Amino acid sequence: MSPLQLAWSTLLRNLRGGQLGVLLGALIVAVAALTSVGFFTDRVAKAVDREANVILAADLRLRATQDPGSLYLEQARAQGLTTAQAVTFPSVVVSGDASQLAAIHAVTSNYPLRGELRIAERLFGAESTRRDGPPPGEAWADPELLARLGLDTGVDLDVGTTTLRVTGVLQYRPDQAIGFVGLAPDLLINIGDLAATGLVQPGSRITWSLLFAGPVQAIDKFAAGLKDQLKPGQRLQTIGDSGEQIRSAIERAQSFLSLAALIAVLLAATAVAVAARRYAQTQVDGVALMKCLGASQGYVLRATLWELLLLGLAAGVVGSLLGFFAQAGIAWFVIDLIDGGLPAPGISPLFSGVITALAVLTGFALPSMLALRTVPPLRVLRHDAAPRPVSTLVSYLTAVGVVVALLVWLVGAGRLLLISVVGLSLGAALLSGAGWLLVLGLRPLRNAGGAAFRYGLANIARRRGESVAQIVAFGFGLAVLLLLSVIRTDLLDTWRTNLPADAPNHFIINVQPSEVAGVRAVFERNGLTPPDLAPLVRARITAVNGVAAQDVSATGEGRQLLRREANLTWADRLDPSNTLTAGEFWDPGTSRLEVSVEDDAARDMGLQLGDQLEFGVAGQTFAATVTSTRQVRWDSFRPNFYLLLTEAALREAPATFISGVYIPDANRQVLLELVRAFPTVSVIDLQSVLAQVRGVMDRAALAVQFVFLFTLLAGIVVLLATIQATREERRYEAAMLRTLGASRGLVFKGVLAEFVGLGALAGILATLVAMLMAYLLATDVFQLDYRPATWLWIGGPLLGTLLVGIAGVLATSKVVSHPPVAVLRAH
């Protein structure tokens, strides 16, 4: 019989006999938990991306400074994509004797391709949503434009050489400016009226935009082909270009989801490791018999490897299918909570389930199974003849290698991986060391209490090594469950409170220095808190450490800062949404020329503390020293900057002022008063962007809520697998005690005391590990203020006592009830 045939027959026989039930069950549940997380988070991530694309009004956007023609549109339509067009330019519009500079957007009738327009029939009237642009002959005007002209809807506006009727108030369009460039209020017209305006002339400042929408794969394919055709002045925009607030929220949400998947993997490994060890022990006698019949070590090894491969493939496929159906049920349950439903999942989680099953078996089952090849034939006659175990160092290194590989695969080689590995290593060391101390500390209590209590504690102390292993397994399972509970509640709530109900929902920009006091006075007259206005200076970085900016090698945002004008500001103190990560912040009123750089920008430009940045402002140049770097919470919606300087550096530079303010709906008339009193001031409405960021947060919270259910199931499997590992030994002990006169109730109470004791010890240690991991994740990964979860000190030990105690009693109830005669005859 070939090793493959033997492996197949052994696998089937052990499945029918139940020896493989615990291991296979643990593996299937683990894979199902992981793949259900994978399928569900894949769908949620696609939904988040779809929602995020709303800010582009499309899935892909091409911007050009010259008319791109129709070639790209024809190519997109040939590939089944939907297209739209937009032409943007500044122009003065006139109504009677009143005139005003406006940002005119001429769009096709099917604009926008993603998201919706919000239109009101009159200023400050009730809003309605539209999925199409204005018809020919009509225009929709920004409320700020109407306020400056002193008009309302129903009037005619002269736009170039044509006249259009204003039929709606444009409250929101998906791709409206988020930054500091939308200085003129919007006017939306039909692209069919563009030629009649006569405003498109050679040399005009015009931006052409082509919008594309369609399935993700089709968009990706089209974008890849389009990049090779782009001409000077043409640029592709994706969600990555859609604003720091949205990107920051999406990245934070993806970190939460990645961490949830990570926890499922760790629980999977723990359950399989415990179950595999017990399964290997049940195979020792059969291998010894094979050795007596002439089987070699190599034959046994090949058969073992085939058995693990078949087991991994079967568990991977079955677990992945269960995970797929589980996520389908979840998606159906939450369909009404997510606008537009969830997109269909990809097939990659299916393959990841099989790969994970094989990887976990390799790291956590293979070392135990490899020991079978060294089973001595003498085992048939003497049960004390045991196989030679694989080196403990090799076992640990294999397990650690597989876990790290899985973590890199799931979360990437970033800070989350580093924090996870460090936290888990410290946690494992703490659990092992404290487990030994606690087991040894039980000795003085062995003579206290009744017989059942003494029996339970004696079991823990007598099986010292196994008790420590159980405490570590229980503690690890409980720690990750507690950690996920902290993430599910405390960390997510902390993230969401970073964007409170009164977060700034409008940006006020282009305030002149002489208007600062007047702008604040408008808010005070209306009973609102006057805004803190931050200076804004437009400048260019001309050199880095004496090297011309165009010659400096940089990536990402750093490259953009070196190639275009940058927004600078000065301040004597850090905004609450900024956290210093390196260096020291300057003293108020300092005369030194210093600059603080945002972390990502500093990394992209390769900046270090002490480097010199040279700036060009209004024809003047100066150099400032990099004295600190900052982590910026972009999703706070406060005015934030990549480059923050001392006042001494920018005191003589021409500046305007900006601010983020919260204006309740009932007080929106303050905006009308503001723009009428200060015609050059612009107000940008952020309410829809705020709603989108909150939607990202809610989706992340929703996903983690359901991931918790799967990891809870995986955690229960860890408990059951750990208890099953000593089931046979407990059955024999119970039979001996009952033979010597102990009642079934006494044995049962002893088992209860043992598991309650193990659960309490594991719960205490799990609480410490969970709090350590929560602190590291909150401060170093999610950049949140850590608030210790006081409920953990009570909830952790209580959860451990209840879970382990109940699971232990349920799993060993048949052991206690088994007839002693049958057990003794079997031995």
For 594-614, what is the mean pLDDT?
91
Least confident residue range of 640-644, 652-656, 698-702 = 698-702
The pLDDT, as a whole number, for residue 209 is: 92
pLDDT of residue 766 exceeding 50: yes
For range 41-46, the mean pLDDT: 68
**Predicted confidence (pLDDT) per residue in 411-443, tens digit:** 666 666 666 667 667 766 776 776 677 666 666
Domain boundaries, the chain: 1-56+246-413, 83-208, 415-502+686-827, 506-685
- Per-residue DSSP letters for 195-222? HHHT---TT---EEEEEEE--HHHHHHH
Return the top range by mean pLDDT from 428-437, 721-730, 738-747.
428-437
Predicted pLDDT of residue 755: 76
Q: Do residues 574 and 617 make contact, with C-beta atoms less than 8 angstroms apart?
A: no
CA end-to-end distance (rounded Å), the chain = 31
Mean of the pLDDT values across residues 330-334?
58
Stretch among 30-34, 134-138, 810-814 having the lowest mean pLDDT: 810-814
Residue 31 · residue 268 · CB < 8 Å: yes
Token digits for 579? 């956290």
Cβ neighbours for 356, distance < 8 A, ≥ 6 positions apart: 30, 31, 34, 35, 265, 268, 316, 406
Confidence of residue 332 (pLDDT cuts 50, 70, 90): low
Give phi and psi for 162, each to the nearest 5: -125, 165
Q: Mean pLDDT across the stretch 62-83? A: 90
Confidence of residue 801 (pLDDT cuts 50, 70, 90): confident
Q: Can you give the pTM of this predicted structure?
A: 0.56
Name the amino acid, one letter, at 303: A
CA of 240: how far to CAs of 45, 61, 197, 592, 682, in Å?
14, 12, 34, 36, 26
* pLDDT interval class at 242 (50, 70, 90): very low
pLDDT greater than 80 at residue 517: yes
pLDDT at 179: 37
Does the pLDDT of residue 137 top 90, yes or no? yes
Which strand (E) or helix (H) includes residue 19? none
Give pLDDT, residue 336: 47
Is the pLDDT score of 810 beyond 90? no
- 687, 118 Cβ separation under 8 angstroms: no
Instruction: Report how far residue 577's alpha carbon sits from residue 593's, in angstroms, rounded to the nearest whole number.
Output: 23
Q: Rounded distance, CA 372 to CA 280, Å? A: 7
DSSP 3-state of 503: coil
Q: What is the mean pLDDT of residues 457-484?
A: 67
> CB of 54 within 8 A of CB of 296?
no
> Is residue 416 within 8 Å of 255, Cβ to Cβ?
yes
Give the tens place of pLDDT for each residue, 554-563: 887 788 788 7
Q: What is the mean pLDDT of residues 7-13?
A: 79
More reliable by pLDDT, 371 or 693: 371
DSSP 414-457: SHHHHHHHHHHHHHHHHHHHHHHHHHHTTGGGTTSS-HHHHHHH
pLDDT of residue 408: 75
Higher-confidence residue: 309 or 406? 309
Q: DSSP secondary-structure letter at 516?
A: H
pLDDT at 551: 85
The neighbouring-strand residues paired with 172 are 118
Query: At residue 337, does pLDDT exceed 50?
Result: no
More confident residue, 567 or 327: 567
Q: What is the pLDDT of residue 87?
A: 92
For residues 302, 307, 308, 310, the Cα torsion angle rounded to the nearest 10 degrees is: 120
pLDDT at 595 over 80: yes
For range 328-333, the mean pLDDT: 63
pLDDT of residue 432: 73
Query: Tens of pLDDT along 338-367?
Result: 555 566 777 777 777 888 788 888 877 777
320 or 136, which is more confident: 136
Q: Looking at residues 238-259, what average pLDDT do you find?
A: 57
Percent of the chain whose pLDDT exceeds 70: 65
pLDDT of 825 above 60 = no
| Residue for token pair 């939306």 | 188
In this model, does residue 514 exceed pLDDT 90?
A: no
> Does residue 530 have a cis bond before it (omega within 30 degrees)?
no
Place of tokens 């003794």: 824
Q: What is the structure's pLDDT at 241?
A: 47
760 Rama class: left (phi>0) / alpha (psi -120 to 50) / beta: alpha
More confident residue, 661 or 274: 661
Rounded average pLDDT over 177-189: 63
User: Which pLDDT belongs to residue 413?
Assistant: 62
Q: Is the pLDDT of residue 139 over 50?
A: yes
pLDDT at position 141 is 93
Which of these ranges, 204-218, 361-375, 626-640, has the smallest mean pLDDT? 361-375
Q: What is the pLDDT of residue 58?
A: 87
pLDDT at 32 > cutoff 70: yes
Contacts with 675 (C-beta within 8 Å, 6 or more apart), sequence order? 144, 147, 148, 681, 682, 683
Under 8 Å between Cβ of 343 and 48: no
Please give the residue that has the higher pLDDT: either 762 or 173: 173
Q: How many CA atoms lie within 13 A of 586 on its CB side?
A: 22
Chain segment 121-133, per-residue pLDDT in tens? 888 788 888 989 9
478: tokens are: 């409980």
Three-state DSSP state, 394: helix
Computed over every residue of the chain, the mean pLDDT equals 76
User: Which position has the higher pLDDT, 187 or 290?
Assistant: 187
Residues 725, 278 contacting (CB under 8 angstroms): yes
pLDDT at 12: 81
